[in-house]
Structure formats: C-alpha cells, structure tokens
Amino acid sequence: MSHVTSDERPRDTSALARDHLANERTYLAWLRTAAAVMALGLAVASFANNVGVMSAIAGGLLVVVGGIGVGYGTMRFRRVTDELEQGRYLAHARVHAAVVASIVLVVTVVVSLVLVIIGQR
C-alpha cells in the first residue's frame, strides 16, 4: 500500500511508519537522558545533609541542562516529524547537534563534579 504525497510520488507507508517509530524512539532516548541528568542534579544538590552552595549550584546546573535537553529533544522530534511527513528528511543536518549535545553534557557533568569537590573543602 502506498501513500501519495503533495508532489504525487507514491510513498511506502510501512517505511514511513518505521521512520516515525524510529524518530519516536530517539525522542524517548532524549527524554530518558534528560531525566537522568536532572535526577543526578537533584542527587548532587542533596548529597550531604547540609547542602552547600557549590553542591546546590552544581545540582541546579545539571537540572537546567536536563531541562534544555527535554526542550531540544522535543523541538528535534517535531522538526523530524514534519520533515518525514514532507518527504524531505536531511540526515546530515543533525550530525553537529548530537556532537554539541554530547560535549555540553560532558562539560556540565565535569563542571558539576568540580563544584562539588570545591564545595567539600
């Protein structure tokens, strides 16, 4: 069974369904990662009975970065969904975003760790 797009080219609906499901799985991975970063932030902020300023800053930083991850993942999901529906998905356009997101995540965790270590002195 095929679907006709706006430019009258037949499209395989099973392939389109697989693409949408893959996009949804990717979105859920973004959400799981962001939720884990935010949970780590909450754990860091409450690491000790007396929450220090540095631990609170580190935890807050992780929670904010997790929230940004949720926002970016949602924006990406919607953009890819629209592109799939229009039949114009560009895979190479997303390579840099994944690298930047990875770098931001690693830097945030390292900075948070440094803040916690400084706060314990």
- Is residue 65 classed exposed, middle or buried when 0-12, 13-18 and 19+ CB atoms within 10 A define those classes? buried
Asked whether the predicted pLDDT for residue 20 surpasses 80, the reply is yes
pLDDT per residue over 70-104, tens digit each?
999 999 999 999 999 998 887 777 778 888 999 99
pLDDT category, 118, cuts 50, 70, 90?
confident
Query: Which of 1-5, 52-56, 65-69, 117-121 is predicted least confidently?
Result: 1-5
How does the average pLDDT of the chain come out, rounded? Answer: 86
Query: Nearest Cα to 37, choosing from 102, 94, 81, 115?
Result: 102
Asked whether the predicted pLDDT for residue 3 surpasses 60, the reply is no
Q: Are 34 and 69 in contact (CB under 8 A)?
A: yes
